[in-house]
Structure 1
Amino acid sequence: MNRLPPLIDVHHHAIPPAYAQALGNRVAIPGVDYPTWTPEESLAVMDRNGIATAVLSITAPGVTFLDGDEDPSAARRMARTVNEYFAGLIEAHPDRFAAFAVLPLSDPAAAKDELAYAVDELKLDGAGVLTSYQGRYLGDPAFEPVLAELAERGVPVHVHPGTPPTRDLATFDLPPSLYEFTFETTRTVASLLFNGVLDRLPELKMIVSHAGGTLPFLAQRLTYGPTIGRYLTERAPADVIGTLRRLYYDIAMSANEFALPALQKLADPERILYGSDFPFMPAAHTAENTAGFAEYDGWGEEERAAVGRTNALALFPRLAALSG
C-alpha cells in the first residue's frame, strides 16, 4: 500500500444533537438507516484511518425539513444553531475539525445573511448546499446571488445530493442514496452549465460529491446539447469539458477501480479531494475507501499527496495556516 499523507476529509458528516432532536422521527432520506453520531466517534474513525482533519457538513435533508413549519424562521434558526455548534467543535478541536456552514437556501436572502454570519463571525471554513431546493436545482436564477457571493468571497462550497424532488421513489423500492444521489449531482451541474452560471462565476470554488456522480461518464455527452436541440446553442458553455474541469470533486464512496479512472480522465489531480462519507457510510467503509485511494495505481506519490491533503489546504486557508 502506498504511503498516505495526513488526510483531510472534505466529505464527513455531523449530526448535532439539536438537529437530531428537531429531525425526530421524520424520514430524512427514504430507505436509509439513519446513523447515530458523536464527535468522539468521528475522531476515533479519523485516528484509525490517518485522517488529520474532517470538514464537517450536514447531509440531506439539510434544514429543508423545516421549510413547511408553521414558524417561517424555523429553518433559518436551525441553520444558525448548527453553525454555532460547528464553531464550538472547531474551537475545541481546531486542528481536527473544520466545517461547511449549512445555508437555508430555500430562502436565498436568508442564506446570504447566514453565510455572512458563518464566515465573518463564526469563521467557518466554507458552505454546504444541497443539489435542489423545493424542486429547483442550483442553476435556477434564484440561487445565483448566493453563489455569486460565495465566488466573490472565495468561500468553498460543497454540494451534496438529496432525494430527487419529482421522482416516484417507490418504483424500485431502493434508497435514493444508492443510485439517485449520483444523478442528482449530475442534474444540478447540468443546470449550472446550461444556465450559464458556472461560466459567469469562473472563480466559484464548487466541490461536487461522489466523484461528480455520473459526470465523468457523461462529460462528452453533455457537449452534444446544441446538436440534440438547437435551442441550446446560445445556452451551452463554449467549453463544456473545460468548465467541468474547473469544478472540484471529492472521492467519497468512489475510491475504487471503476470510478477513479473515469474521474481521472475528466479532472486534474489538483481538483480532486479525499472524502469518507462517515457516518452515513460506516467506519468499515472509511477503511475501504482509504485503502482504495492508497492502492490506486493511476497516481504517483505527489498526486496522491495532492488529493489526500494539499489540494484541501489550498482551499481552506485556516487549515493551511495551522499546518505551517
Structure 2
Amino acid sequence: MTKKLRVDFHTHIISEDFPDLAAKYEDGRFPILERTCSCGAEIKIQGKTFRKITDQAWDPKKRIEDMDKEGVDIQVLSPIPVTLSYWSDPQAGLELAQSQNDFIASVVKKYPDRFIGMGTVPLQDVKQAVAEMERAVKELGLKGIQIGSNVNGLNLDDDSLYPFFEAAAEMNVPLFVHPWATLGRERLQRFNSMYTVGMPSETALAAGSIIMSGMLDKLPNLKICFAHGGGSLPYILPRMDKGWEAWPETRNTKNPPSSYAKKLYYDSLVYDPDNLKFMIERFGAKQIIAGSDYPFLLREKPVGKVIDNHEDISEADARLMLGQNAMDFLGLNELVKSV
C-alpha cells in the first residue's frame, strides 16, 4: 500500500528578524520579538510577555527535523495570529503583512518540497487587503490567506468586509480563519481560559456569522477553513437550525445553517476521538483537514494522532484527512498524484 501523504495544515511561523513596529510607530501595542537565548524568544506587547517561543517558531531547519521525526511530509505555514494587528493604522498594517508574507515566501522558496505558504492581509483596510492578497498569491506564490475571526469587533459578515470575500472567491484564494481578539476577553483572564474556552467560542461566532449572512449563497465557490475543528460550531448547529426555523423574519439564507456548514472546511484539532467522529458524521471526512497548531503548547503531537488511532475511520477517510483534503483545499491536487 502506498504511503499516506501527511500534511500539517495548521502551523505558525514568525521571522527571526520580525520588524519592530512598536519602536518605528511609537506604539507599544505592536508585538515585538525579544530574544532570550540562541534557541528561544518572547513575543512581547507593551512590555509584557505574550508568549514564550523556541527556535521551532522561526527556524525552518528545526521544523524539518521535527517533521522528519513525526512523519510529516509538508507543513502549511501561516503567521502567528497576534501579529495580525488589525487595530493599527492601515499603512503600518500593510507594512507588517508584507514583511510576513515576504518571509513566508522566502522559506517556501528555499524548501519547496516541505513547506506551503499562507499569507496575511491588513483587513482593517479592505482595499489594501485585496491588493496584498493579489500580491501574495500572484507574485509571491502563496497558496492562501489566514485571517482573524473578527476585525476590530466586526464579525466577518459585516458589509464592509464583503468585497474582500468577493475578491477571494473571484481569485480562487482559500481562506483560513483563526480566532484572535476573542469575545468576552475581560472574563477570560484566569486559567488560560482565552485559549480553552474563548477561542472555540470565537471561532463558532465567526463561522456562524458567515453561514447565516447569506454569503455562501452569493459566493458558492468561496473556500474557507476554520481552525480548532470549528470551535463549538459542530455542537450548536441544531440550535442554529432551530433559530432559523423560529425566526423566519431574520433569515438571510435559502437553507438552514447546517446545510452551509457542510460546505466549509475544518482542521482536525479537537484532540478527542469522539469529537472527531462527531465532526465526520456532521460534515463528512472530505471537509476535515489535519492540523496540529505547531509549534505551540496546545498542539497535537504528532499531527493526525487522533485520526491514526481512531478505530472507526476507514483507510480512505484517513488518507483524505491526513493530506489529500489539504491539497485539494489549496488547489494543489497535482502534487497529491505525484506522491
Q: Which amino acid aligns with 1:299?
A: I
Q: Which amino acid aligns with 1:297?
A: E
1:12 aligned residue? 11
Q: Is the 8 A contact 2:75 2:114 kept in 1?
A: yes
CA, structure 1 residues 318+88, in 2 after alignment: closer, same or farther (shift >3 Å)?
Answer: farther
Distance 1:108 1:34, change over 3 A: farther
**Residues 272 and 4 of structure 1, relative CA distance in 2, 3 Å threshold:** farther
Q: 1:300 to 1:58 in 2, by over 3 A?
A: same
RMSD between aligned alpha carbons? 2.5
Following TM superposition, by how much is the alpha carbon of 1:225 offset from its aligned partner in structure 2, in angstroms?
Answer: 1.8
- Aligned to 2:319, which of 305, 315, 324? 305
Q: Which has the higher contact order (CA 8 A, sep 6+)?
A: 1
The answer for the alignment partner of 1:119 in structure 2 is: 137
- Offset from partner CA, 1:260-284 (integer Å, 9 cap, x none): 022112111111111010112367x
Q: Distance in 2 between matches of 1:187 and 1:87?
A: 31
Residues 60 and 163, structure 1, Cα contact 8 Å, conserved in 2: no
Q: Is there any run of 5+ residues in structure 1 with no aligned partner, and where?
A: none
Q: Could you say which structure has the higher strand fraction?
A: 2
Residue 191 (structure 1) shift: 1.1
1:68 equivalenced with 2:88 (yes/no): yes
Q: C-alpha separation between the residues in 2 aligned to 1:155 and 1:134? A: 23
Aligned residues: 315
* Kept after mapping to 1: 8 A contact 2:136/2:142: yes
* TM-score normalised by the chain length of structure 2: 0.85
C-alpha distance in structure 2 between counterparts of 1:182 and 1:213, whole Å: 4
TM-score by length of 1: 0.89
CA contact (8 A) 1:128 1:159 kept: yes
1:220 to 238, 244, 250: 238
Is residue 129 of structure 1 aligned with residue 147 of structure 2? yes
- Secondary structure, counterpart of 2:95 in structure 1: helix
Residue in structure 2 matching 1:273, options 261, 286, 289: 289
Distance of 2:230 and 2:62 partners within structure 1: 27
CA distance in structure 2 between the partners assigned to 1:32 and 1:5 by the alignment = 37
Q: CA deviation at 1:64?
A: 1.0
Give the secondary structure class of the aligned counterpart of 1:308.
helix
Unaligned runs of 5+ in 2: 22-30, 33-42
Letter in 1 for 2:255: A
Work out whether residues 62 and 130 of structure 1, in 8 Å CA contact, stay in contact via their aligned partners in 2.
Answer: no
The alpha carbon displacement at 1:156 in A equals 1.2
Shift of 1:32: 5.9
Aligned residue among 262, 284, 293 for 2:278: 262
Secondary structure at the aligned position of 1:87 is classed as: helix
Question: CA 1:20/1:222 → structure 2, altered by over 3 Å: closer, same or farther?
Answer: farther
Deviation at 1:181, TM superposition (A): 0.6
The 8 Å contact of residues 90 and 97 in structure 1, kept in 2 or not, is answered as yes
